[in-house]
């Protein structure tokens, strides 16, 4: 699996997820995204998960350090991916418990997701 920071511009940090996500991959993506959010004093996240295949079973998934340190800096989060992952992604990201809007967009709607983040 790879969680790769693709771009950080215009107040949006863009990360792509491919394969199975591990806690280590997530922590690395969090570190990179968090640095931009802190430098910018806030921004939005765009997650591309069109080639996402789920989460690994092993590892420590209980680490909430990124949320604790950065949730107040996140304006919005958009996830773009296969609709089969929507319900699990919403649960994994704790959508209803975060202090910012979070929306899931079907694969192929990256432009719509970016427009929503900018609105």
CATH number at residue 29: 3.40.50.10600
The pLDDT mean for the chain works out to 95
In this prediction, residue 1 carries a pLDDT of 59
In this prediction, residue 2 carries a pLDDT of 86
Q: Are the C-beta atoms of residues 2 and 25 closer than 8 Å to each other?
A: yes
**Domain boundaries, position 28:** 2-118
62-82, pLDDT tens digit by residue?
888 999 999 999 999 999 999
By C-alpha distance, which of 5, 22, 4, 21 is closest to 13?
5
Count: domains in the chain: 1
Buried/exposed 27-58: b ≥16 CB within 10 Å, e otherwise: bebbebbbebbeeeeebbbbbbbeebeebbee
In this prediction, residue 56 carries a pLDDT of 94
């Amino acid at each position: 699996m790879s969680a790769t920071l693709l771009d950080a511009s215009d107040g949006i940090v863009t990360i792509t997820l491919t394969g199975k996500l591990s806690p280590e991959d997530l922590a690395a993506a969090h570190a990179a995204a968090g640095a931009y959010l802190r430098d910018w004093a806030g921004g939005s996240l765009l997650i591309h998960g069109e080639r996402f295949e789920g989460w690994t079973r092993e590892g420590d998934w209980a680490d909430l350090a990124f949320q604790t340190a950065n949730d107040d800096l996140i304006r919005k989060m958009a996830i773009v991916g296969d609709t089969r992952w929507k319900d699990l992604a919403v649960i994994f990201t704790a959508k209803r418990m975060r202090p910012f809007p979070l929306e899931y967009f079907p694969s192929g709607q990256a432009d719509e997701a970016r427009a929503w983040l900018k609105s």
